[in-house]
């Protein structure tokens, strides 16, 4: 086995580790917003490492094809994550209107609508 094969296998295994981390995060993270972090970031890098590992053993055409697929998955992953987060926020905001509330009961303080405005980095 040449050192290039070794590097390829190392990248494939590292990619697999990030895929497992993404799946574990999906199970272990406490709320839907945190779970979105797990599936977008870990899986995107995991796929990238798998593509990199496979491209070492492939022709230039297959490499280009895999890179295109990775780019598309990365774009669609980030956009769908944003859409899911927006939907969850809208659902969380609408919840107090749907659920039964006792007189004088306040809405959930952890709602995204009550997010503080932070000062940006100078």
Partner 1 sequence: MMFKSGLLLLKVCGLISLSALCWAVLTANEGWVFFVVLLALLLLWQGYYPLALPKVRWRYFPALLFTFAGQLWRGAFDVARRAFFARQFAHTGFATYACRLTAPAQQQLLATLVSLLPGTCTVAILPKNSAKPSTGEVVLMLHILDTTANWQAEVAAIEWQLARFMASPLPREATL
Cα separations (Å) of 28 from 32, 39, 86, 92?
Answer: 11, 12, 22, 21
If the CB atoms of residues 99 and 114 are measured against partner 1, the closer one turns out to be: 114
Closest approach, Cβ 23 to partner 1, in A, equals: 8
Closest approach, Cβ 1 to partner 1, in A, equals: 27
Closest approach, Cβ 98 to partner 1, in A, equals: 20
If the CB atoms of residues 5 and 69 are measured against partner 1, the closer one turns out to be: 69
If the CB atoms of residues 5 and 76 are measured against partner 1, the closer one turns out to be: 76
Find the angle CA(26)-CA(81)-CA(92) to the nearest 5 degrees: 85
If the CB atoms of residues 54 and 85 are measured against partner 1, the closer one turns out to be: 85
Closest approach, Cβ 34 to partner 1, in A, equals: 6
Cα separations (Å) of 11 from 31, 45, 113?
Answer: 31, 11, 41
Binding residues (CB under 8 A) for partner 1: these are 17-18, 21-22, 24-25, 28-31, 33-34, 36-38, 40-42, 44-46, 48, 61, 64-65, 68, 74-75, 78-79, 81-82, 85-86, 88-89, 110, 112, 114-122
Round to whole Å and give the CA distance between 95 and 104. Answer: 16
**CB burial of residue 65 (10 Å; 0-12, 13-18, 19+):** middle
- Cα 37 to the chain's mean position, in Å? 4
């Amino acid at each position: 086995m040449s050192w290039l094969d070794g590097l390829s296998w190392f990248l494939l295994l590292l990619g697999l580790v990030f895929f497992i981390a993404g799946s574990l995060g999906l199970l272990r993270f406490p709320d839907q917003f945190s779970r979105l972090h797990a599936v977008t970031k870990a899986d995107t890098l995991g796929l990238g490492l798998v593509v990199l590992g496979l491209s070492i053993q492939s022709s230039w055409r297959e490499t280009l094809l895999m890179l295109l697929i990775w780019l598309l998955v990365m774009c669609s992953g980030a956009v769908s994550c944003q859409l899911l987060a927006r939907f969850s926020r809208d659902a969380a905001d609408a919840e107090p209107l749907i659920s039964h509330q006792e007189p004088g009961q306040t809405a959930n303080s952890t709602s995204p609508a009550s997010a503080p405005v932070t000062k940006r980095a100078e």
